[in-house]
Amino acid sequence: MSLMPTMLERIARARMDLRMGLPVILTTGESAILAISVESLSPERLTDLRSLGPVTLALTARRAATLKARVYDNDIARVTVPSDAGLAWVQALADPADDLETPMKGPLLSEREGDASLPRLAIAMVKSARLLPAIAYVALENAGDFALKHDLTLLPQSAAEPLLNTSSPLHPVAAARLPMEASEAGRLHIFRPEDGGEEHYAIEIGRPDRSQPVLARLHSACFTGDVLGSLKCDCGPQLRGALSHMGQEGAGILLYLNQEGRGIGLANKMRAYSLQDQGFDTVEANHRLGFEDDERDFRLGASILRELGFSSVRLMTNNPGKIAMMEKTGISVVERVPLKVGENAFNRHYLATKAAKSGHML
Ligand SMILES: Nc1nc2c(ncn2[C@@H]2O[C@H](COP(=O)(O)OP(=O)(O)OP(=O)(O)O)[C@@H](O)[C@H]2O)c(=O)[nH]1
Ligand SMILES: [Zn+2]
pLDDT in tens, 257-269: 999 999 999 999 9
Cα separation, 212 vs 306, in Å, equals: 13
- Going from N- to C-terminal start, the domains of the chain cover 7-164, 170-259+296-357
- Indicate if ligand 1 lies below 6 Å from the C-beta of 304: no
Average pLDDT of the chain?
95
So what's the pLDDT on residue 90?
A: 96
Q: Closest ligand 1 atom to the C-alpha of 358? A: 19
Backbone angles phi, psi at 59, to 5 degrees: -130, 165
Under the banding of pLDDT at 50, 70 and 90, the label for residue 150 is: very high
Cα separation, 11 vs 111, in Å, equals: 27
So what's the pLDDT on residue 121?
A: 98
Which amino acid is located at 233 in the chain? C
Q: Closest ligand 1 atom to the C-alpha of 286? A: 1
**What pLDDT, in 10s, does the model give residues 67-113?**
999 999 999 999 999 999 999 999 999 999 989 887 667 789 999 99
Q: Please, what CATH class does the domain formed by 170-259+296-357 belong to?
A: alpha beta
**pLDDT: is 227 or 353 the higher one?**
227
Determine the residue of 127, 200, 232, 235 to mutate for testing ligand 1's pocket, defined as the one with the most ligand atoms within 8 A of the Cβ atom: 235
Core vs surface per residue 22-53: b (16+ CB within 10 A) or e: bbbbbbeeebbbbbbbbbbbeeebbeebeeee
- Indicate if ligand 1 lies below 6 Å from the C-beta of 127: no
**pLDDT: is 277 or 350 the higher one?**
277
What is the CATH architecture assignment of 7-164?
Alpha-Beta Complex (3.90)
* The pLDDT of residue 174 is above 80: yes
So what's the pLDDT on residue 32?
A: 98
Of 37-46, 89-98, 217-226, 351-360, the least confident: 351-360
Q: Closest ligand 1 atom to the C-alpha of 222? A: 29
* The pLDDT of residue 353 is above 90: no
**What pLDDT, in 10s, does the model give residues 107-139?**
899 999 999 999 999 999 999 999 999 999 999
Cα separation, 169 vs 237, in Å, equals: 30
* Helix intervals (H) in 80-153: 87-94, 117-128, 143-150
CA 331-325-186 angle, 5° bins: 55
**What pLDDT, in 10s, does the model give residues 198-244?**
999 999 999 999 999 999 999 999 999 999 999 999 999 999 999 99
Out of 294, 297, 314, 348, which one is annotated catalytic?
294
So what's the pLDDT on residue 39?
A: 97
* Helix intervals (H) in the chain: 7-20, 43-52, 61-67, 87-94, 117-128, 143-150, 157-164, 235-249, 260-263, 266-277, 282-289, 299-307, 320-328, 348-357
Look at residues 98, 82, 139 and name the one whose alpha carbon lies nearest to residue 116. Answer: 139
* The pLDDT of residue 358 is above 80: no
How far is C-alpha 272 from the geometric centre of its chain's CA atoms? 13
* The pLDDT of residue 361 is above 90: no
Sign of CA dihedral 223, 244, 309, 317: negative
Q: Do 137 and 34 touch, CB atoms closer than 8 A?
A: yes
Edge-to-edge strand order for the sheet containing 252-257? 170-177, 186-193, 200-205, 252-257, 214-220, 312-316, 332-337
Mean pLDDT of 331-349: 89
So what's the pLDDT on residue 16?
A: 97
So what's the pLDDT on residue 6?
A: 95
Cα separation, 68 vs 347, in Å, equals: 31
How far is C-alpha 341 from the geometric centre of its chain's CA atoms? 26
Under the banding of pLDDT at 50, 70 and 90, the label for residue 362 is: low
**What pLDDT, in 10s, does the model give residues 157-168?**
999 999 998 999
So what's the pLDDT on residue 352?
A: 83
Cα separation, 47 vs 85, in Å, equals: 11
Question: First and final CA of the chain: distance in angstroms?
Answer: 56
Q: pTM for this one? A: 0.95
Give ion ligand 2 contacts, CB < 5 A.
222, 225, 233, 235
Cβ atoms < 10 Å from Cβ of 304: 22
Look at residues 307, 56, 82, 17 and name the one whose alpha carbon lies nearest to residue 9. Answer: 17
The answer to whether 294 is a known catalytic residue is yes
Cα separation, 330 vs 184, in Å, equals: 31
Could you give the 3-state DSSP secondary structure of residue 25? Answer: strand
So what's the pLDDT on residue 347?
A: 87
**What pLDDT, in 10s, does the model give residues 233-262?**
999 999 999 999 999 999 999 999 999 999
Contacts of 15 (CB under 8 A, 6+ apart): 125, 128, 129, 196
Contacts of 196 (CB under 8 A, 6+ apart): 8, 9, 11, 12, 15
